[in-house]
Amino acid sequence: MEAFLVSLATVAVAEMGDRTQLLVLVLAAHYRKPWPILAGILGATLANHLAAGVIGAWFGRFLTPLVLDGTVGASMLAMALWALRQDRLDQNGTMSRGVFLTTLVAFFLAEIGDKTQIATIALAAGYQNLPAVVTGTTSGMLLANLPVVFLGRAFADRLPLQAMRYGGAALFAAIGAVFLIRALGQ
């Protein structure tokens, strides 16, 4: 029970003000469909944190700062490019990509190298109960993002989505550059 509660609290606190919360706000404001967004967050977090937990439990000694920084930098540059891409409408006037799939992929990529993923690795290395750690970190992620999904929907008409898209792309590119520079300096 301790592994679950510590994992839940750690990730819920670490997620506050995190870049993935900004992503959730943009998705909620853009799509205005909270349940597929929450399902996408759940799926992405489970996959990401399970992988992080396995790494922490069994392969943590292989994660060098160079590999971690390079992975984070490359994923942030990919997110910057994705943020610049506008959604297109198909012949039926609906989004060409589904809300769930968009959230799943975007959130999964944004979580790579994130502080909550690093926390999951550390927690899995510290506790010998991988299911409790992954369940706790995933629950903490949902707990932190649930209000954001519904607040994003409430403020959707007031948010400048194009400016947020460009700002998000610039932020992801800057973070990616910092991590790649750190990786090259090692």
Which residue ranges in the chain fall short of pLDDT 50? 87-96
Per-residue pLDDT, 19? 76
pLDDT at 89: 36
pLDDT of res. 122: 77
What was the pLDDT predicted at 114?
Answer: 80
Return d(Cα 68, Cα 80) in angstroms, integer: 18
Closest C-alpha among 2, 9, 1 to residue 139: 9
Give residue 114's identity as a one-letter amino acid code: D
**Contacts of 13 by beta carbon, 8 Å cutoff, 6+ apart:** 140
CA proximity to 163, closest of 76, 81, 83: 83
pLDDT of residue 58: 74
Q: What is the DSSP letter of 114?
A: -
State the pLDDT at residue 136.
95
**Mean of per-residue pLDDT scores for the chain:** 78
SS3 label, residue 64: coil
Residue length, the chain? 186
pLDDT digits (tens, 9 = 90+) for 171-186: 667 777 887 898 888 7
How many Cβ atoms sit within 10 Å of the Cβ of residue 154? 11
pLDDT tens, position by position, 82-118: 667 654 434 443 444 588 998 999 899 888 888 888 8
DSSP three-state, residue 41: helix
